[in-house]
Chains A and B, each alone.
Chain A
Amino acid sequence: MIRLSQARNKALLAIHGWSGALLGLLLYAVILTGTVSVFSHEIGDWSAPLEQAPQHALPHRIDAALRNAAQQIDPKYLESLFFFSDIGGRVRAFFHADEKDASGRPVDRGVGLRIHPQTLQVLERYEGESDAIKAQEQHGALAEFFVDLHVRLHLPNPWGLLLTGVLGLAMMVAAMTGFIVHRHLIRELFTLRRRRDALLTARDTHVVAGTWNLLFAFVLAFTGSFFSFGTAFGVPAIAMVAFGGDQERLIDTVVGGKRAEDARPAAFANLDDMLADARRRSGSEIGFVSVAHWGRADATVTMTPLPPAGRFAARNYSYDGASGAFLHEKPTLGLQPSLGSDLFDLMGPLHFGSFGGLLSKAVWFALGFAATYVALTGMLLWTARRAGDSRAWRRYETTVYWMGYGLPLALAWAPLGYFGAMALGADTHAGTNTAFLAAVAVATVLCGVLRERLALRRVLLALTGLALLLTPLLRGLAGGPGWGLAFDAGLRAVIALDSALLIGGVWCLRGARPSRTTQQFDGPRASPA
């Protein structure tokens, strides 16, 4: 494909291999958890369903519930409000004030509510900083665990985001160098040699998966880095340079549409009427609403509809909160349509794969699985070539097996901890974390006990399979609906995810059986020269 001198080829291959070897373990974790997180919405609906199927649009009559809540909270928290349909269809509302903590970092502090979408009853009420409120909520624990592990590896901001941003860049470097050094990309598209040298099979396995996944790898790495660096680095840096460090002013300027302040008290108009008007204008259900300055003359309501069919994003509709009058329609960024706003709108759909419902999510899941496979086979190939050289490389090879097969085990155990805690009435966050860490500990012990890599792989796969098979059972024991009830109530996510877990469990158990293919792959390494 691209002709390079032998020296240049060697140098690029070294960059490709070493970037993968040094950052591959964490990159693998980010990609695998991202693959799972494609279905975070469905995981939330599956793990914490209400009695009826969730609607991922807002209820049409929400005004009375929010107005009643607004009357009962500290008026300082009426500065900002947002609400949207969340796990199981529960409406998540957060009345808050934008404050700064001791270090000057912006924090949101207020009152969080979970409202039943049909009865409009307040199910849960929390008070405090937004992160602390999230930690108290029991229903979202499992889905949030997977998403948080993917977004920032459970590290505190901004370090977790910076790290995942760097990993995204590493993925782009690996994809680019892999593309350049592989001279026969098209010619070897369908070639995977299984009956010769084990290292050759390992090389072909990695190259074939990487070639087919190349374009997606670029897209995913770029959009992922965009999200990570944008929040952790981009916004603070631009704020520092152009807005004297005031991130809120930067966001107001870039997003646009902020009205002149008028703090005189004024009655708040009917939200249901504004919602109905926005639905009529957009031809779509409303996905997200934000309210600034509830109860003031300068109150503004901004509605974001769900993207219309065939589109990636919808335009926002702004209303005067005091009179209910329509103000204007605007794109996500700025007040006029722009290429920048269109590109910004594209980042989410390209990264999350949620633009086409379950079909696009299924495709993105498959692509994520392929990317995970590329990362794992790359590390196994790199270490297999060197494990004969030194004890350090052999230890690193064991570490690759630990992460490669131990992380799926830990992710499969996490729901067991979640449902176990739910059944016992304990904190589901603690239950999820404990089960995850327990699985990590088990994998670590097994790595120490089982010297033979093939046996280690088989045991870890078998334990993963068992966990996946047990999860639907434990979900039922924790009070979750059975399939009959779920079918009657339209809770499709319950049946779909239970089925996926059962299929995944059987697949893992089958993979744990000895076979000639795995014998070849994990067979004797090439001896050192």
Chain B
Amino acid sequence: MRFNASLPDDRVNVSDRSAAREALLLVAGVVALAISLVVVLAVAIELVIPFVPVGVERYASSAWSVLDAEDDPRAADAKAIVDRLVAHWPDNELDYRIGILDSDQPNALALPGGAILLTTALLDGITNENELAFVLGHELGHFRNRDHLRGIGRGLTFAITLGLLGIGDGLAGNLSATAGTLAQRSFGREQEHDADRFGLELIGREYGHAGGSIEVFTRLLVEPEVEAETNATQRYFQSHPSNPERIDALRLQAREQGLDFLDQRQVWPHEATSGVGT
């Protein structure tokens, strides 16, 4: 028996393939997986939502009882506008409440269960009733489209699915979560457009014209720096469509429905009795 001194073969147990290339390939795979997961879940949720009764959402309204005691008289005026708009929406099942948030950012929020929050900056910036009516109509649009269920459903089911697949942890988990969140944002933008559509419909039925809607975007919610530099890539990261896009969509819809952007503005707060029919 002889001992044969030899060196081990380097290539047998170790692979030659570049690690960087493998990383790129796998990352692309994970991102694709996350995006397809989001799409599949979104479709599934769309199918389920019509069957969820509104009573489920009404249950959430008890969380906003803090809004009931409102000293600001503008809350009551805004509520009056909401009631008039809702009169044109026969299928409505929710009761609405207005809350006022102290903030220097003009904003309006729709909270699950029928609460609409308006910031003081928004109410201060309003010059006529039509503008506020469009904003409220937009928020009513979110309730009509069941957007809260959609948002909660998507976020929750995506996170749960990732967890069940065991991908939740570590950098790979964060990567899929981020890719999924960005994909969900494009759905969110579509919801904003749909809410705009419903808002315009409601004010069209109540006032007979579309005045005030565009001014919300040209004067009230102006974001000069954002719009100047936004290119297609940056727009993908935004949760709302850009103002120019929303204005264009409103103009198109007004043309389709034969509404004018007339100069008949209602005084705010509304003092005369409502008399403008459709």
Do A and B interact?
A: no
Interface residues of B (CB under 8 A from A): none
Interface residues of A (CB under 8 A from B): none
